[in-house]
Amino acid sequence: MLDTLCVPLIQAPMAGGPSNAALAVAVSQAGGLGMLAAGYKTVEAMAAEIDDVRAGTLNFGVNLFVPEADPSDPEALDAYATALAPMAAELGIEAPEPGPFNDDQYPAKVDYLVANPVPLVSFTFGLPTADDVARLRSVGTEIVLNATDPEEISAADALHPDAIVVQGAEAGGHRATHGQAKEPSESSTHELVSLAREYTDRHVIAAGGVTSPEIAQNLLGAGASAVQVGTLFLTADEAGTKDAHKDALVNGQYRDTVVTRAFSGRAARALSNRFTERMAANQVVGYPQVHYMTAPLRAASADNPEGLNLWAGSGFGACQARPAAEIVAEFRSL
């Protein structure tokens, strides 16, 4: 399916609400490839969203978070809960506690996708087993793996995927780094695409900072087969991004992004706000426990962007409120 795209543009899966069925359908109908994000969802919710997309398009993919063994330190998690307590008090809610460690129902999601095949499955945060790849391939599903440095590109290549997304440091949201305890690579998207050929013969998809057709053209020229675009779609009309998040991306009040573990315990790029600044000195490895720990604070912050995880790539200045099809159309010349 990657070979038959009208526009070599993949809408990034964006867990947590932004990449809903409406966005995926709009992007695929416009000639790109729409992606659903299964992260944080139950198997049933993932299945329902797949059904919704199928009503609008047959060209789409589903993205899974690959779980890992829990590397966190319980004492460090308790210390982080203590550091969050004053913020909770200000919001008038109970002091937070570390949330549970879980596998995001990953095995059950793979089983569902084997029994109910979709055209493409991509994986982030790590690599699937060769057995999971073989099971999905056997039902006709294309496999896409994420990587953020040469070592990860080589490891992904060994699984013989259809394509490897190389995610550069500009990228918004969680870094795709294999293993949450690892420090995220600082290589740019262009650097990674340029060196990828030394490590793989697979299709390379460039992700991170793709905010214009010129940037995309440059990456295709450096060897990418397609681009994966996230941040630019956060403000698409169809995207399920919170209104406060959409507004923060376009209102001109935010100038910088920062890579932080403050919200989830895993490195992610977000707009720099009061939450990231207050927690800058308290970074702790602990995904998804920190995600669950900060959830009540984020919920209590409601419409106040200073208390939200405003995921954003470094190119967020290009965001505009407009239909997704208009964004895809901009890339049609590629």
Determine if 207 is a binding residue for ligand FMN (CB under 6 A). Answer: yes
Q: Quote the distance between the C-alpha of residue 103 and its chain's center.
A: 17
Cβ of residue 163: shortest distance to ligand FMN, in angstroms? 13
- Residue from 2, 12, 23, 87 in contact with ligand FMN (CB under 6 A): 12
Angle among Cα 62, 172, 166 to the nearest 5 degrees reads 65
- Residue from 32, 98, 209, 288 in contact with ligand FMN (CB under 6 A): 209
**Strand, helix or coil for residue 124:** strand
Q: Please, which contacts does 21-24 make with residues 24 or more away whose CB atoms are closer than 8 Å? A: 21/49, 21/52, 21/53, 21/56, 22/238, 22/240, 23/233, 23/236, 23/238, 23/239, 23/240, 23/324, 24/53, 24/57, 24/60
Lay out the site mask for ligand FMN across 138-167 (x = CB under 6 A, - = otherwise): --------x--------------------x
Q: Looking at beta carbons only, is 21 or 171 nearer to ligand FMN?
A: 171
Contact of 163 with 144, CB cutoff 8 Å:
yes
**Strand, helix or coil for residue 111:** helix
Determine if 210 is a binding residue for ligand FMN (CB under 6 A). Answer: yes
- Residue from 99, 173, 184, 265 in contact with ligand FMN (CB under 6 A): 173
Determine if 18 is a binding residue for ligand FMN (CB under 6 A). Answer: yes
- Residue from 266, 311, 319, 327 in contact with ligand FMN (CB under 6 A): 311
Determine if 104 is a binding residue for ligand FMN (CB under 6 A). Answer: no
R_g (Cα) of the chain, nearest Å = 19
Determine if 208 is a binding residue for ligand FMN (CB under 6 A). Answer: yes
Q: Which residue is nearest to ligand FMN (CB)?
A: 230
Determine if 230 is a binding residue for ligand FMN (CB under 6 A). Answer: yes
Residue among 133, 188, 184, 182 at smallest CA distance from 166: 188
CB count in 10 Å sphere of residue 223: 15
Q: Looking at beta carbons only, is 251 or 281 nearer to ligand FMN?
A: 251
Helical segments of 61-188, H only:
74-91, 106-115, 130-138, 150-157
# residues near ligand FMN by CB under 6 A: 30
Chain residues that interact with ligand FMN, rule: CB under 6 A: 12-16, 18, 37, 39, 63, 124, 146, 167, 170-174, 176, 207-210, 228-231, 234, 311, 313, 315
